[in-house]
Structure 1
Amino acid sequence: MKYQHEFTLSREYFAECYDQCLPYQKQQTPRYALMAGLVIVGIAILSFEITHGKVGILLFALAALEWLSFKYRRSWWLLRQVWSRNGGNKVTLTVSDTGITTQGAYTHTQLQWQEVSDVIDTPEGLLLTLQSGAKNYLSSSILTPQVIAHIKVKCHSEQQQA
């Protein structure tokens, strides 16, 4: 089987990728211990008037930055993807009997079926977990039901052979 589809790496596509992968990310909550530690040390420095309070204020700012980085992580990630060299470019996805290939203006990625350790169905696509721990998302909007079934069969058969 050989399937090819060309699509654009748009903001909507990146948003779907992020939203579908979010439940499978390691860090689901802010690092409260880090933020609390920064605030406590900042208060201690300010209360003892060490270094005229500048370091204490810096620690408060770092705690606030840590909270903001968690709160706006989706927006920040989307902005980085859209502004990247590949943002807005066309990508050709090829699914074959040997694996999955993506070819863009600046990237060429080839994923062999042996590299895939798990296939997770998400509401809007497939999340491929690689043996290295990396995750690749494929939207079902760019795949046909036959291709989705082919991917699952190939990954399952390769897992049994390993």
Structure 2
Amino acid sequence: MSFSTTYTLDKPYFYECFDESLPYSAQAKPKYALLVLLISLGLIAIYAMNKHYLGNFLILAAVLECVAFYYRRPWWVTRQMLSRASGSEARLTIDESGFKSENPHKSYQLAWQDIDEVIFTVRGIILKSRRGMQYVSNSVLNDEIIEYIKKRATK
């Protein structure tokens, strides 16, 4: 079986990728240990060592980490929109060997044996491997290929 389709790498697609992948990524929760460490070191620098500049810097680094966590979605989408691939047409091919996606600027191939986990979300499919995660939207797939992926994932 072989399936091929094209889709556009645009802002709505990037938002969908981020929203569906976030619960399964390491960035889903704030780095509480880092925040506690930065604030503690900042307070120690201010009150125990009397180094106000260092203490303020460490506390502001913790605040910056909170801001970065809060705005991670628009920041990630903006970075994708600024990339060369933004707005280009991507071609997805699914066959016996695995997944292959290519656009004018980048391509990746993921063999079935390299896929560690297949996660079916409400709006798409997440393919986890040692190299990271790849997201495929259900909007570019038909029911037949989704069933094929489900069968291959359970093998």
Q: Distance in 2 between matches of 1:67 and 1:90?
A: 35
The aligned counterpart of 1:119 is 118
Which whole-Å deviations, capped at 9, do the CAs of 1:67-101 have from their partners, x for residues lacking one?
A: 11111111111111111121111101111222111
Contact preservation (8 Å) 1:114, 1:155: no
Root-mean-square deviation over aligned CA pairs: 1.7
TM-score, normalised to structure 2, is 0.90
What secondary structure does 1:50 align onto? coil
Q: Give the aligned partner of residue 73 of structure 1.
A: 72
Aligned to 2:141: 143
Normalising by structure 1, report the TM-score.
Answer: 0.87
Give the structure 1 partner of residue 62 of structure 2: 63
Question: 2:33 and 2:108 mapped to 1: Cα distance?
Answer: 38
Query: In structure 2, what residue type is equivalent to 1:54?
Result: Y
Q: Are the counterparts in 2 of residues 126 and 138 from structure 1 also a CA contact under 8 Å?
A: yes
Q: Retained in 2: the 8 A contact 1:18–1:74?
A: yes
- Once residues 5 and 141 of structure 1 are traced to their aligned partners in structure 2, the CA distance between those partners, rounded to angstroms, is 11
* Preserved contact between residue 119 and residue 127 of structure 1 (Cα < 8 Å): yes
Shift in Å at residue 152 of structure 1?
2.0
1:143 positional shift: 0.2
Amino acid at match of 2:45: I
Distance of 1:149 and 1:25 partners within structure 2? 25
Identity, % of aligned positions: 34
13-22 vs 26-35, greater mean Cα deviation: 26-35
Moved over 6 A (4+): none
Counterpart position of 2:40? 40
**1:89 matches 2:85:** no
| d(CA) in 2 for partners of 1:147, 1:78 | 28
Amino acid paired to 2:4: Q
CA distance in 2, matches of 1:96, 1:59: 51
- Asked whether the 8 Å contact 1:117–1:155 carries over to 2, the reply is no
Q: Which residue of 2 aligns with 1:160?
A: none
C-alpha offsets along residues 110-144 of structure 1, whole Å, 9 cap, x if unaligned? 211111122111000111122x1621111000000
